[in-house]
Amino acid sequence: MSMHRTLIRNGRVLTMDPTLGDFDSADVLIEDGTIVAVGPHLDVTDAEVIDASHHIVLPGFIDTHRHTWQSLFRGVCSDWTLGDYYFGMRLGISPVYTADDVRLGNFYGAVDALNSGVTTLLDFSHCNNTPDHSDGAVQGLQQAGIRASFCYGFFESSPGETQFGAHSDRIADFHRIADTYFASDGLLTLGVSLSEIFGLPWQDTVSELAAARERQALLVNHAGCVFGSALCNGILEMDQLGLLGPDMVHVHCCSFGDAEWEALARSGGKVSISSQTEMNMGFGRPVFQQCKRHGIAPTLSADVISLNSGDLWHELRFGLSCARADAADPINAAGHMPDTVALSAREALDWTTVNAAAAMGLGDRVGSLIPGKRADLQIVGGPALEQHPVHDPYATLVFQTSAADVRTVLVDGRVVKRDGILTVADQPLLTAEVDAASERILGRLRDAGRVLPGTPPGAFTAIDPLTQSFHEQAVQATTLAARR
């Protein structure tokens, strides 16, 4: 079988590797999806050439937490609280999704990510209403050709009308998905999205953790994002029971106290920050400073396209602004101005590249442009006004760039966007299909008599008795463990 070779020629290459460094002008040689050489003036004649002159070449971005299925409802949550989102999206819209809606949402959402240079997703998939929905979610990612960790979620969106029965049936479906789609090493890797801690019986949480670790799957959970409620807490109980680990990505973490941060740091756990969600929905301040204090390398995520843009450049820019503002706050409060900038644009790019790759257990495959890694990369630049002149490539990327400036994208050496045009989807056809699907879903909601968001008075306060009872189960488990 002949080898396919691609040469990225004459780009300004930012490898994101401290040893190899950056190049003002260099080439990247790819053979069968693997980077084999990076450097100036590579002597190659028998390769497909992609001219990157006057462009920046950098690793593809990695999003460590995205509910990709929600892409069919872009922006619907723009004026919603977290309570509105939980009851309107998770318990309202999700139950009327068909399996094909999930497939289309994941395909469209993954294509949207690719368009902005995101080559790897952590798909926090919690619309698995039936086994067919689970299949559809995986198939949508496969169809897009993105690299992803499909993190199977056990969340029950229709408690009164479940099609699974016992929680153990959902665990069994997770194992079916693992056997069906993840027997070989491909673009997709397996993960588990934990149901919200204390949103279900404690033993069910323990079962989800056990299922993930039986399969050596990545774990992700929403943590510390509901002030005044037990929901999405549980870090201390998991720590006491030895259930935390370096295989976990903890999302948000805004309400954590020192004890939770110390437990997370001891465990080697990772953190995903969704600055736009956190600031807009009242979760609290993004936790960049806490990560720094506890030696944790932060990562970024777009979270919900039902609120935020799928363009991770926006999240990167906003996140860096939040981090700098938080660092300046105590200085300003003392009546002074900062003498230095707390974080550089170069450091911020780590969040969406090397940090994120490590968090997802993919650091040996992606996240930097060095020989031996897979060729997931993006080429940024072009004629747009905001791309000229380039005095500092990192500044141009972080503060001036959007999806429109991402000209070419490769995943595993395959071109998925070329010269500003997606190659993995017919864009007009796809957007028409998405518009029609969204209208059908809204029609089913109307037929069911649902009015969005449909949040009950008190929102999370209304479910406090239930979450407190599940919290007590965890406390009892820690007490029993301590006596042994």
Q: Which fold has domain 61-359?
A: TIM Barrel (3.20.20)
The proportion of the chain whose per-residue pLDDT surpasses 70, expressed as a percent, equals 100
- Residue 449 has a CB neighbour count (10 Å cut-off) of 6
User: What burial letters (b/e) apply to 16-31, b meaning 16+ CB within 10 Å?
Assistant: bbeebebbeebbbbbb
Band of residue 158 on the pLDDT scale cut at 50, 70, 90 = confident
Band of residue 29 on the pLDDT scale cut at 50, 70, 90 = very high
Band of residue 484 on the pLDDT scale cut at 50, 70, 90 = confident
Domain ranges of the chain: 5-60+367-421, 61-359
Mean pLDDT of 84-109: 97
Token digits of residue 344: 């550089």
- CA 248 vs. chain centroid, Å, equals 13
**CATH code for residues 5-60+367-421:** 2.30.40.10
Reference 83, options 206, 232, 200; nearest CA is 232
Residue-wise pLDDT tens digits, 247-296? 999 999 999 999 999 999 999 999 999 999 999 999 999 999 999 999 99
Q: Residue 40: CB partners within 8 Å, gap ≥ 6?
A: 23, 25, 26, 27
**pLDDT of residue 163 exceeding 60:** yes
Residue-wise pLDDT tens digits, 334-382? 999 999 999 999 999 999 999 999 999 999 999 999 999 999 999 999 9
The reply to whether omega before 389 is within 30° of 0 (cis) is: yes
Is residue 211 within 8 Å of residue 192, measured between CB atoms? yes
Q: Which 8-state DSSP code applies to residue 412?
A: T
Q: Taking the model in full, what pTM does it have?
A: 0.98
Predicted local confidence at residue 335, as pLDDT: 99
Predicted local confidence at residue 1, as pLDDT: 56
Residue-wise pLDDT tens digits, 46-93? 999 999 999 999 999 999 999 999 999 999 999 999 999 999 999 999
Q: How far apart are CA 153 and CA 195, in angstroms?
A: 7
Q: How far apart are CA 253 and CA 423, in angstroms?
A: 37
Q: How far apart are CA 224 and CA 86, in angstroms?
A: 15
